[in-house]
Amino acid sequence: MDFSDDDIRANRDYFRDKLRAIRQKVELVHKVVDGKPADWLLLDVRARDAFAKAHVPGALCVPAEELATLVALLPRDRALVTFCWSHF
């Protein structure tokens, strides 16, 4: 199977971006686990009941369905990192 230059470029870009995302996730996890101060704010976008049961220390509960109304209250001087988790 021959790959065009566009196919090769698209694959390269995909894996570059995926690696960047994985590195960012690993760095974030290490900072949270080590309790290091962060220049970002961790937003848990799961439902409030799921957040109440368990959450990452220091995370804020901002349910996805409320994000549009709560975004004005979030700080603008820090990066915002969102995460969610669910069973499918």
| Dist CA 67 CA 73 (whole Å) | 10
- The tens place of each residue's pLDDT in the chain, 88 residues long, gives 799 999 999 999 999 999 988 888 888 788 878 877 677 888 999 999 999 999 888 889 999 999 899 889 988 898 888 887 754 4
Torsion sign across C-alpha atoms 61, 66, 71, 73: negative
Q: pTM higher than 0.85 for the full model?
A: no
pLDDT in tens, 6-21: 999 999 999 999 998 8
Closest CA to 35 of 58, 17, 55: 58
